[in-house]
Amino acid sequence: MHTLSVIIPAYNEEKTIFRLLQKVAGVQLINGIQKEIIVVDDGSRDGSEQQVVRYNAQHPEAPALYFRQPENRGKGAAIRQGLQLVTGDGVIIQDADLETDPEDYNTLLRPFIQENLKVIYGSRFLRRENRHISHWYYLGGRIVTLVANLLYNQRLTDEPTCYKLFDAAFLKSIPLRCTGFEFCPEVTAKVAKRGIKIREVPVNYYPRSMDDGKKIKWTDGLKAIWTLLKYR
């Protein structure tokens, strides 16, 4: 791998995206791998764009490519748009909040490269010291993961995780139709249907509350299960 493309879907993240971009830029990747930072603004109505502009002005050595969707369409649509801009040979999904730590990129990259993988997930549940914002979020993630394992013969612990690392050409070969949070179950289903056992590694997790800007709802869990059933 020569370049890792970091796709950052963002919607109303003016409070966190500047710090997040600084963290992404500051990570030194193994094997001299370079980073390509791609921010897809999903029609934000706050100052997210201004924060990206401020970051680029202060960090000309590691600028973020910025693309603004004409309207709010959802995380999946933003990721699909980001994929069209990717020029790297690896792709990782990075939420614009600070729930996950870009320092974990290397945790995923080491086995990804050494074992010549097409995909690897970073599991929040494999790191026991991670806390979770509520029992209901924890249980919802576990249920979606259980359904994915039963339907697709996987042994995952954290299917809805943000950190999903892919071989870029492989991910681009998957026909994605998602617009919202159903990106995760759709890509999991379609990877599994290619006969791939998805590898996991533990990653750090710093959850935020709805008051802090968390957007996923319990209904998204139902949509995830429906998506898994649909593609099965």
What the chain holds in terms of domains, given with CATH numbers, is 3-231 (3.90.550.10)
Q: How far is CA 144 from the centre of its chain?
A: 17
Distance CA 211, CA 209 (A): 5
Residues with Cβ < 8 Å from 222, sequence gap 6 or more?
none
pLDDT in tens, the chain (232 residues): 999 999 999 999 999 999 999 999 999 999 999 999 999 999 999 999 999 999 999 999 999 999 999 999 999 999 999 999 999 999 999 999 999 999 999 999 999 999 999 999 999 999 989 887 677 778 888 999 999 999 999 999 999 999 999 999 999 999 999 999 999 999 999 999 999 999 999 999 998 665 555 567 768 889 999 999 999 9
Q: Which residue has the tokens 């109303």?
A: 12
β pairing state of 119-123 and 164-167: antiparallel
pLDDT at site 40: 98
Cα of 74 vs its chain's centroid, Å: 13
Query: Looking at the chain, how many residues does it have?
Result: 232
Residue type, 36: E
Give one word for 74, left, alpha or beta, with left for phi > 0 and alpha for psi -120 to 50.
Answer: left
Alpha-carbon span 211 to 118, nearest angstrom: 37
Nearest to 143 by CA among 45, 26, 225: 225
CB burial string 81-106: b at 16+ within 10 A, e below: bbbeebebebbbbbbbbbbbbbebbe
Instruction: State the DSSP code for 132.
Output: -
Q: Is residue 128 classed as helix, strand or coil in its secondary structure?
A: coil
